Amino acid sequence: MIYLDFAASTPLLPSVKKELFRAFEEEYSNPSSAHKLGRSSAEKIENVREKIADSIGSYKSEIIFTSGASESNNLAIKGYVLANQKKGKHIITSSIEHKCILSICTFLEKEHGYEVSYISPKNDGVIDAEDVIKAIRPDTVLISIMHVNNELGTIQPIEKIGKVCFEKDIKFHVDAAQSYKKIAIDVDELNIDFLSISSHKIYGPKGIGALYIRDLRETKIQAVIHGAGQEYGLRGGTLATPLILGFGTAVQDQTIENSFEKVSKINSLVRLRVSEIGGALNTPTENHIPHILNIRLPKFDASLFVGNSDFLCSQGSACSSITIEMSHVLMEIGLSTTDALSSLRLSLDHQVSPNIIDKLLINLSK
Ligand SMILES: *Cc1c(COP(=O)(O)O)cnc(C)c1O
C-alpha cells in the first residue's frame, strides 16, 4: 500500500516514536504532583510549551494544550464568544472551513442565537479578503478563517484579514492545522488572536494539539472542559505527558520545513501527469501549498477508487468521506456533482517519489 493521505494524518517520525516510548515508560507520574518526578515531567512539558510559543512568535503563557485542532477550535470560538456575549453575536467565517468549524457555528446559531456570515471563496478556492471585510458589522465579535484549506491546499489571505481585525478590534481565529510548519506563522505579524494546531498533522501522535490565545490572562474565555485548574482553568484534566513530549519532538523536527522544495517538485510532476491523461486540477496554480493537490478525472468513480485502491487517498476530507456526502468545499468552488464525485484529494510529503507518482497515474488511467 502507498500512502498519499498526509493531510488526513501523518505517520510518526522515528524520533517522535522513540520519545513517546520513553515517556510512556518513564514519565508516568502526574505532572501536577509536587514531588521530584512530577516536577521533572512538568518542566519537560513547559519546554514543549516554550518550543510551540517560539515557533509562532508568542509567549509560552499563551499556549494551551488540547486534544487536537478540533478541540482548539471549540475552545477558541465557543470559549471566546460565549464569554463575551455582550460584545455582539455576529461571527464571520468561510463556507470552506473544516467541518468542525462549521458545526461549532451551527451550534452557536441554533443554541445561542448567534448570526454567522459564511464567506464563499472565488472559483480558485481562495477567499477574497474584501468579501470578509464587507461582511463586518458593528456586532461582529469574531472572524474565523482557516490558513490552508484541507481539501484544496489553498492559502487564505490571513495577513489582510488580520490587519482589519486589529483595526476594528475584532478577535481573529485561524485554524492552522494544515499550514503549521509548512508556512511560517508569526501571530503578531499576522494579527492572529487564536491559532489552532494539531500534532498528528506534523508527524506527532494523535490526541494532542494546542491553542494559542493572545493575552490569555486578560482575555475572558469560557472553559470547554471544567476541571481541577489545569491549563489556566480553561482545560481541565491531567496533562498527557507522553503525548505532549512526542508533540514537542515533532515541533522541533525540521523535516517538513526542509522538504518544501522536494514536495513542490512532486506536486509539479503530478500536475503534469494528470493533464497528460486528460484530467484537470481543482487546486489552482497559485496560492497553494505543494502538499495537497485535488484532481479530477473524466469518467472516474473516486469513491470506488478510494475504497479499493492500494493507493491510499481521500475524496474530499477524511472525516466526511466515510459518510460519502458531497464535499462542501468542491461544491463551493462551483463543481458539478459529477465533477465532485470524480475528484480525488492527493496529499504528499517528502517520502513520495516520482516513481510512486508514475505508478499512481498508470492506476488512475486504467
Ligand atoms: C485535521 C484538521 C482538523 C482536525 O484536527 P484534529 O487534531 O484531528 O482534531 C481541523 N482543521 C483542519 C483544517 C484540519 O486539517
CATH number at residue 176: 3.40.640.10
For the chain of 366 residues, list the mean pLDDT of each consecutive stretch of 10. 97 98 98 97 98 98 98 98 97 97 98 98 97 98 98 98 98 98 98 98 98 96 93 95 98 97 97 95 96 96 93 78 74 93 96 96 89
pTM, 2 dp: 0.97
CATH of the domain at 261: 3.90.1150.10
Residues 133 and 183 in one domain: yes
Residue-level pLDDT at 240: 98
Residues 164 and 127 in one domain: yes
Total Cβ atoms within 10 A of residue 252: 16
How far, in Å, CA of 302 to CA of 338, rounded?
A: 10
Domain residues for the domain of 277 are 2-9+257-364
Cα 350 to averaged position of ligand 1 atoms, centre (Å) = 21
Residue 319 annotated as catalytic: yes
Residues 45 and 111 in one domain: yes
Of all atoms in ligand 1, which is nearest to the CA of residue 201? 1
Question: Which of 252, 280, 303 finishes a domain?
Answer: 252
Integer angstrom CA distances of residue 344 from 225, 295, 296, 317, 326: 37, 5, 6, 10, 12
Pairing status of strand 115-119 against strand 63-66: unpaired
Residues 323 and 263 in one domain: yes
Question: Which of 226, 252, 278 finishes a domain?
Answer: 252
Residues 219 and 265 in one domain: no
Beta bridge partners of 196: 175, 211
Residue-level pLDDT at 316: 75
Residue-level pLDDT at 274: 96
How far, in Å, CA of 30 to CA of 41, rounded?
A: 8
How far, in Å, CA of 132 to CA of 144, rounded?
A: 10
Residues 188 and 330 in one domain: no
Question: Which of 207, 228, 252 finishes a domain?
Answer: 252
8 Å CB contact between 197 and 177: yes
Residues 48 and 114 in one domain: yes
How many Cα atoms within 13 Å fall on the side-chain side of residue 75?
32
User: Distance of alpha carbon 247 from its chain centroid, rounded?
Assistant: 15
Q: Ligand 1: which residues within 6 Å by Cβ?
A: 68-70, 98, 100, 146, 150, 175, 177-178, 198, 200-201, 209
Tally the domains of the chain. Answer: 2
Residues 131 and 225 in one domain: yes
Please choose from 6, 64, 70 the residue to mutate so as to test ligand 1's pocket, defined by most ligand atoms within 8 A of CB.
Answer: 70
Cα 37 to averaged position of ligand 1 atoms, centre (Å) = 33
Q: Grid coordinates representing 103? A: 458545526
Residue-level pLDDT at 324: 57
Cα 34 to averaged position of ligand 1 atoms, centre (Å) = 34
Cα 89 to averaged position of ligand 1 atoms, centre (Å) = 25
